[in-house]
Structure 1
Amino acid sequence: MPTPERLAVGLLEQTSAVAAHVRDFTATVPTCPEWTVRDLVAHIGQEHRWAAAIVRSGLPVAVPDPRDQPVPGDWAAWLRDGAVALIEAVGDGVTPVWTYFGDGPSAFWLRRMLHDTTIHHADLAGRDALIPADLAADALDGLLELLTAPGAPTLKPALAELRGDGQVVVLNPHGGPPWTITRGPAGPTWRRGDGAADVTVTASARDLLLVATRRLSPDAAGVTVSGDRALLDHWLTRTAL
């Protein structure tokens, strides 16, 4: 996992990138069709403050609705202030706080909010999203950690359909070790490293992230898919968060 300092820099960069790609508050976000751009901006500013409240208290806080969130006129500064508030609350990143997986270090929330903000940057920018390779790779790690966590199918029943008998999906980044995902009887597991694959997707870490989070289809992203395309499509349709 990147250091808290790297996560903080990344969060500020990605929050600024979101602001730079806002054009029309009334437009619908194609990859989040239930939201307008205004809702997306409200969500980002709101979730940074929500995570900061969790870190400060160490306890869970009710998830707010972005449609209930007022957005000030100087919304870009408001977005940045929310990111700064979270960074300051996290501090050195080691304080134990509540997380989805039980108690964990406060850096969990800085990492989680960075990944979420990065994906929302892609919601607005598409293939123009500038996502550093190290942060894209860590976001993929984080995504797979969520998808394979104990109890995840209870929260998202579609994940139960990812059980299998050894089918392997490999996400192969340029210049780095691949993510090897194995569908077993108890559910999927993953690791970084080579292995035999039923389907392999090869691209930059950024494009693999955009495909894995359904911000771009494999065809639109121009990635290389080798092997069982139906297996890849089955994985992608059941892992939407």
Structure 2
Amino acid sequence: MPHDWNRFLQTSTQRLAALVDESDPAAPVPGCPDWCAADLVEHIGGVYQWATHVVRTGDPEAAVAPAPTDLGELPGWFRTHADELVRVLVGTDPDQETWTFGRGRGTAGWWTRRQTHETTLHTFDLLDSQGRSEEWDVPAPLAWDAVREVVTLFYPRQLRMGRIDPLPGTLLLTATDLDAEPVAVGEGRPVVEVNAPASELVLLAYRRRTSADPAAAELFARGLTP
């Protein structure tokens, strides 16, 4: 069954905007060691502006408005750009052609999916910065789609851009909470099986968690994602 990406995007951005309202902007972000929560929020707001511009114009070059220096204004600034992203993506034909960083030319619907996953992962980061990571709750099908995005988009892109070498092994990822075929990252040997709930596989792939299996941990640490 196809995902309702518009609904996922609306729900995830609303959840994150509400979390920004109640978060300590000075709290450090464990998953992004050089950032505090305010830096994370500025990053996401900038990405939202960029994605909105790309969908509107097809041009990947965009000047984004920086976050306000008054941190009391940060939640309102963030919500404005989140709402605008949703308004533009929901109001655009998902088949409309535009630039995408995965394959040069793609569709507006690509951006709805990508920004849903961007928002979902960074919601974990913001919760984690506040000591509330246990509140991160992602539907298994949505989490599994994010894992598949890593396999089909980000890992090949990391290789293509020369950011990493090919994995010296293969990660065989299986979601234990879904009836879905496993996916493989890499083509080397040995094959290292990782069986976990889909949401845990997302955190492993994005290096927000470390696998208890040393062989898997070493492969994940190579950097499947930026």
TM interval, short-chain normalised:
0.7 to 0.9
Return the offset for 1:18: 2.6
Matching of residues 12-51 of structure 1 within 5 Å: 12-22=10-20, 23-51=23-51
Instruction: Work out which of the residue numbers 146, 151, 157 in structure 1 matches 2:163.
Output: 157
Instruction: Work out which of the residue numbers 179, 199, 212 in structure 1 matches 2:205.
Output: 212
Q: Return the alpha-carbon distance in structure 2 between the equivalents of residues 207 and 199 of structure 1.
A: 16
Return the offset for 1:156: 4.3
In the alignment, structure 1 segments of 5+ residues that lack a partner are 189-196, 220-228
Identity of aligned residues (%): 31
Q: Return the alpha-carbon distance in structure 2 between the equivalents of residues 209 and 148 of structure 1.
A: 13
The TM-score normalised by the length of structure 2 is: 0.81
| Aligned partners of 2:52 and 2:88 also within 8 Å | yes
Instruction: Work out which of the residue numbers 197, 216, 222 in structure 2 matches 1:232.
Output: 216
State the one-letter code of the partner of 1:236.
F
Match of 2:105 in 1: 103
Aligned length: 213
Q: Return the alpha-carbon distance in structure 2 between the equivalents of residues 169 and 39 of structure 1.
A: 32
The structure whose residues are more often strand, as a share, is 1
Return the offset for 1:75: 3.9
Match of 2:130 in 1: none
Q: Return the alpha-carbon distance in structure 1 between the equivalents of residues 57 and 97 of structure 2.
A: 10
SS in 1 for 2:35: strand
Distance 1:110 1:102, change over 3 A: same
Q: Return the alpha-carbon distance in structure 1 between the equivalents of residues 33 and 123 of structure 2.
A: 15
SS in 2 for 1:170: strand
Q: Return the alpha-carbon distance in structure 1 between the equivalents of residues 88 and 162 of structure 2.
A: 30
RMSD: 2.7
Match of 2:137 in 1: 130
Match of 1:115 in 2: 117
Return the offset for 1:77: 4.4
Q: Return the alpha-carbon distance in structure 2 between the equivalents of residues 18 and 86 of structure 1.
A: 13
Return the offset for 1:40: 0.9
| Aligned partners of 1:12 and 1:80 also within 8 Å | no
Match of 2:58 in 1: 58
